[in-house]
Structure 1
Amino acid sequence: MTHRFRTLFGAAAASAIALTAATAAQAETWKYSLEEAIDEVQGVYATKFKEHIEANSDHEIQIFPFGTLGESNDTTELAQMGAIQFATASPGFTGSLIPELQVFLLPYVLPEDQAVLEDFYKTSDTINEMLAAKYEDKSLHLVDMYPEGEVVMTTKEPVTEPADLDGVKFRVMTSPMLIETYDAFGATPTPLPWGEVYGALQTNIIQGQENPMFFVESTKMYEVTDHITYAGHNTFTTAVVANKTFFDGLSDEDQALVAEAADVAFDHIMDYQKGLTERSEEKILEAKPSMEVTVLTDEQREPFREAAQQVREAFVEEVGGDAQAVLDGFEADITASKERVGN
């Protein structure tokens, strides 16, 4: 095993696997909820995870796409309670549960280069040790964390500078740092559950939202907005969590299997995402040729970068605790990843 989390098992896992015949666990059915549809990124990851578990054990994984068990906050609570075994739990929602996770929402912190980004998620001690420990305090075990693609803004009017967002009611997830971000960018941040976003855009209750391009395409957000803007400000991150009591109660063999399935699914989803943004953009423009797509230049991004500084300061001040240590750790881990991939 070469991926993060694998070192948690090491020789013990190897020994357990060698004794499979003698220690095989009773077959179980594990429930796994998503924040997206089965054919979107989280569903593709979960399907590969399921395939690996089922091919290497007698266990079965039941996948529950978005909406079947409630909204994201609902499914995280179900995982905490042990009603389900696994859940995707994006920091945009769990940041209220574990405030330090909001570091993933800070604009212009995560690396834009995909090779650096992939190495960072695999190797970051800040993610896989410091933040992972905080999940344990909330009855959860961090199984994996991965990026889902660059976040783009979709709006009714063009955006090339913060002033263009003045007065725009912009939907954000229920995260204080996303509210801080769009406030700093000049918009009026408006927290809304995902299920209400399309209708709110359609009726002009809000005038903008952000998500990776594949999600804009699959959820047809382009039907109710007219402009897509690449500002390079963030990458959407999601996490896979397990109920802590459930995970701690697994045999060494099954814990190793879960870690291995996560590694396989991580590599698969990173490969799957190559070119996904471009393909999704093409589908949007084919469906709606009038859609305007703007990639901000470095010069145009600079005012947004300057505004982002106050969000970083708010993160450290408002979150407190380990916020500064997490931010410093991110920067050190990203620098190390850049050096490893020669960026």
Structure 2
Amino acid sequence: MTKQFRLKGAFKKLAGFSALALLTCSAVQAANWRYAHEEYAGDVQDVYAYKFKEYIEDNSDHTLKVYRFGELGESDDIMEQTQAGILNFVNQSPGFTGALIPEAQIFFIPYLMPTDMKSVVKFFRESKAINQDFPKLYAEKGLELLTMYPEGEMVVTLDEVATTPKELHNKKIRVMTNPLLSETYTAFGATPTPLPWGEVYGALQTNMIQGHENPIFWIESGKLYEVSPNLIFTGHGWFTTAMMANKDFYDDLSDEDQALVNDAADFAFEEILKHIDGLADRSLEKITSSSDKVTVTRLNEEQIVTFKKRAPQVEEKFIDMTGDSGKALLKQFKQDLKDL
């Protein structure tokens, strides 16, 4: 064998080893990330999750596994798993995060947020409180806040029509495990009753509770109108949710992967705004065409005033619960809304 032939063979082996090394490096860098949310297939959080997944997988070698409501437990369970690093991403509403981050309960101060779509979207895009202040609060709890986004106007369902706080007296209204939301319904004259989501349908069906609140798409998706057919649009707020990552996981990502995650969150945010535009009307149409027992009541301005007058006591409770941090956040919220 000639020296030249031996050298050619050596170069071929070296090239082979180099190619294998590159493939191995690529395999090491590609990851299978895990993401859990609180809703069912086709609901707002699910649509957001799959848009996020779409962007990640279209723009990298990473894959993303999405877990829906119940697959890994309730909302509290998936948050614990994210903080423990078992999950990389989680979508959880402030209604549940409020136990961990009290300031997140600000979204449950009634009549603080606007209810028209255009103003709500502008607020989420431009609010300093949401885009600058909240990320710091989440970071303190080991979470990287990637985005907050609106899902829909809150609607109350009841066993009978009610248009005044007096008519809500002694009505047990299911609330998330959120102290400020309980204060809201106490102020409204009702009896707040915290319950996990999985128990709500049965509790309404057996009259253990007489009502609950949720965006209309969720009432349609969960078929809550079957056991709580009177829908009341009180105009008191929008359901908000937050998508976040385990902070240690996020901080350990390369600059390239951090940019990928941030861009995916932005992409999904824009897509979800398109999705929710008109969603409430479509969901309400499905509900009313599915049941002739459903009634729809939209409070007029005079009726809203009777509820709105009770909002200050909820603000006071929020400040009591959160101290100077909450007071500053509430001030910024109001300034952001004024700037709209």
**What is the TM-score of this pair, normalised by structure 2?**
0.91
CA contact (8 A) 2:52 2:267 kept: yes
Q: How does 1:281-300 map to 2 (within 5 A)?
A: 281-300=284-303
Q: How does 1:122-271 map to 2 (within 5 A)?
A: 122-271=125-274
Shift of 1:71: 0.4
Shift of 1:89: 1.3
Amino acid at match of 1:59: H
- Name the CA distance, whole Å, in 1 between partners of 2:262 and 2:162: 42
1:56 aligned to 2:59? yes
- Name the CA distance, whole Å, in 2 between partners of 1:144 and 1:251: 20
Gaps of 5+ in 1: 1-22, 339-343
Amino acid at match of 2:121: E
1:322 alignment partner, SS class = helix
Which string of whole-angstrom CA distances, capped at 9 and with x for unpartnered residues, describes residues 268-308 of structure 1?
Answer: 11111111101111111111122100010111100110011
Q: How does 1:36-115 map to 2 (within 5 A)?
A: 36-115=39-118
CA contact (8 A) 2:56 2:260 kept: yes
Shift of 1:320: 1.2
Amino acid at match of 2:288: L
How many residue pairs get aligned? The number is 315
1:112 alignment partner, SS class = coil
Which string of whole-angstrom CA distances, capped at 9 and with x for unpartnered residues, describes residues 1-58 of structure 1?
Answer: xxxxxxxxxxxxxxxxxxxxxx978100010001001210000011111000100000
Which string of whole-angstrom CA distances, capped at 9 and with x for unpartnered residues, describes residues 45-98 of structure 1?
Answer: 111110001000000010000000010011011111100000111100010101
Amino acid at match of 2:111: Y
Q: How does 1:7-18 map to 2 (within 5 A)?
A: none
Amino acid at match of 2:35: Y
- Name the CA distance, whole Å, in 1 between partners of 2:317 and 2:44: 31
Shift of 1:191: 0.2
Shift of 1:120: 1.4
Gaps of 5+ in 2: 1-24
| Residue in 2 that maps onto 1:13 | none
Shift of 1:319: 2.1
Shift of 1:321: 3.5
Shift of 1:318: 2.4
1:119 aligned to 2:122? yes
Shift of 1:148: 0.3
1:319 aligned to 2:322? yes
Tell me which moved more, 237-246 or 118-127. 118-127
Structure 1's consecutive aligned runs of 4 or more residues displaced over 6 angstroms after TM superposition are none
Amino acid at match of 1:214: F
Which string of whole-angstrom CA distances, capped at 9 and with x for unpartnered residues, describes residues 97-118 of structure 1?
Answer: 0101110111111122212211
- Name the CA distance, whole Å, in 2 between partners of 1:46 and 1:28: 17
- Name the CA distance, whole Å, in 2 between partners of 1:93 and 1:321: 22
1:331 aligned to 2:334? yes
| Residue in 1 that maps onto 2:33 | 30
Tell me which moved more, 265-274 or 110-119. 110-119
- Name the CA distance, whole Å, in 1 between partners of 2:286 and 2:46: 20
Amino acid at match of 1:277: A
Amino acid at match of 2:104: L
1:107 alignment partner, SS class = coil
1:320 alignment partner, SS class = helix
Which string of whole-angstrom CA distances, capped at 9 and with x for unpartnered residues, describes residues 179-208 of structure 1?
Answer: 000000000000000000000001100000
- Name the CA distance, whole Å, in 2 between partners of 1:247 and 1:122: 23
When Rg is computed on C-alpha atoms for both structures, the one with the higher figure is: 2
| Residue in 2 that maps onto 1:19 | none
Shift of 1:334: 1.6
